[in-house]
Amino acid sequence: MKIEKIFKKLGITGVKTKKSGALEISSPIDGNIIAYVKKDSKASAENKIKKSEKAFLSWRDVPAPRRGELIRIFGEELRKNKEPLARLVTIECGKILEEGRGEVQEMIDICDFAVGLSRQLYGLTIASERPEHTMQENWLPLGTVGVISAFNFPVAVWAWNFVLAVICGDSVIWKPSEKTPLCALACVNIFKKAAKAFGKSAPDGLCEVVVGGPDIGEKIVNDSRIPLISATGSCHMGNIVGPKVASRFGRSLLELGGNNAIIVSNKADIDLAVQSILFGAVGTAGQRCTSTRRVFVHNDIYEEVFEKLKESYQKIVKTKIGNPLSDGTLVGPLIDKRAFDDMQSSLKDATEHGGVVFFGQRVIIGRNENAYYAQPALVKIKKQTKIVCQETFAPILYVMPYHTLDEAIKYNNEVMQGLSSAIFTTDVREAEYFKKYSDCGIANVNIGTSGAEIGGAFGGEKETGGGRESGSDSWKNYMRRQTSTTYFGAEKPALAQGIKFDT
Ligand code: UN1
Question: For a substitution probing ligand 1, which of 293, 458, 468, 470 has the most ligand atoms within 8 Å of its CB?
Answer: 458
Cross-strand bridge partners of residue 262: 295, 422
DSSP line for 381-444? -SS--TTTTS--SSSEEEEEEESSHHHHHHHHHTSSEESEEEEE-S-HHHHHHHHHH--SSEEE
Domain count across the chain: 2
Q: Express each pLDDT in 141-165 by its tens digit.
A: 999 999 999 999 999 999 999 999 9
Q: How far is the CA of 276 from the centre of ligand 1 (A)?
A: 15
Q: Are 170 and 41 in contact (CB under 8 A)?
A: no
Its domain, for residue 39, covers 3-256+465-482
Binned at pLDDT 50, 70 and 90, residue 21 comes out as: confident
Atom of ligand 1 nearest to the CA of 454: 10
Tens digit of pLDDT for each residue in 37-79?
999 999 999 999 999 999 999 999 999 999 999 999 999 999 9
SS3 content of the chain, % helix, strand, coil (to 5): 40, 20, 40
Which residues does 363 contact at the CB level (< 8 Å), separation at least 6? Answer: 321, 373, 374, 375
Per-residue pLDDT reduced to its tens digit, 272-324 = 999 999 999 999 999 999 999 999 999 999 999 999 999 999 999 999 999 99
The pLDDT, as a whole number, for residue 337 is 97
Confidence of residue 451 (pLDDT cuts 50, 70, 90): very high
Q: What pLDDT score was predicted for residue 503?
A: 82
CATH number assigned to the domain comprising residue 130: 3.40.605.10
Q: Decide if 45 is inside a domain.
A: yes
Q: What is the mean pLDDT of residues 249-260?
A: 98
407: pLDDT strictly greater than 90: yes
Indicate if ligand 1 lies below 6 Å from the C-beta of 229. no
Q: How far is the CA of 103 from the centre of ligand 1 (A)?
A: 9
Q: Give the mean pLDDT of 436-449.
A: 98
Do residues 227 and 273 both lie within one domain? no
Q: How far apart are CA 218 and CA 227, in angstroms?
A: 14
pLDDT at 492: 87
* Residues 358 and 249 reside in one and the same domain: no
Residues linked to residue 424 through DSSP beta bridges, in sequence order: 264
For residue 242, list its beta bridge partners: none
Ramachandran angles phi, psi of 146, nearest 5°: -95, 125
Q: How confident is the model at residue 124 (pLDDT cuts 50, 70, 90)?
A: very high
Task: Let me know if 76 is a catalytic residue.
Answer: no
- Is residue 255 annotated as a catalytic residue, yes or no? yes
Judgement on whether residues 133 and 176 belong to the same structural domain of the protein: yes
pLDDT band at 1; cut points 50, 70, 90: confident
Residue 19 has pLDDT above 90, yes or no: no
Residue 350 one-letter amino acid: A
What's the whole-number mean pLDDT along residues 365-370? 91
pLDDT value at 367 more than 90 = no
228 shares its domain with 316: no
Residues 141 and 239 in one domain: yes
> Do 231 and 347 lie in a common domain?
no
- Both 167 and 120 in one domain: the answer is yes
Sequence-ordered list of residues with C-beta below 8 angstroms from that of 348, at least 6 positions apart, any chain: none
The pLDDT assigned to 156 comes to 98
Burial class (CB in 10 A: 0-12, 13-18, 19+), 27: buried
pLDDT for 443 equals 98
Count of residues in the chain: 503
Whether residues 133 and 194 fall in one domain: yes
The closest alpha carbon to 418, from 264, 272, 294, belongs to 294
Question: Ligand 1 pocket: which of 93, 95, 105, 153 to mutate (most atoms <8 Å of CB)?
Answer: 153
Q: How many CA atoms lie within 13 A of 226 on its CB side?
A: 33
Provide the mean pLDDT of the chain: 97
Give yes or no for residue 288 CB within 6 A of ligand 1.
Answer: yes
What's CA 494's distance to the chain center, in Å?
Answer: 49
Amino acid at 81: N
Note the pLDDT tens digit of each residue in 412-434: 999 999 999 999 999 999 999 99
Orientation of helix 156-167 relative to helix 181-198, angle to 10°? 30
Q: Does some domain include residue 488?
A: no
pLDDT of residue 20: 86
Q: Are residues 124 and 264 in the same domain?
A: no
Task: Over range 236-248, report the average pLDDT.
Answer: 97
Q: How far is the CA of 393 from the centre of ligand 1 (A)?
A: 13
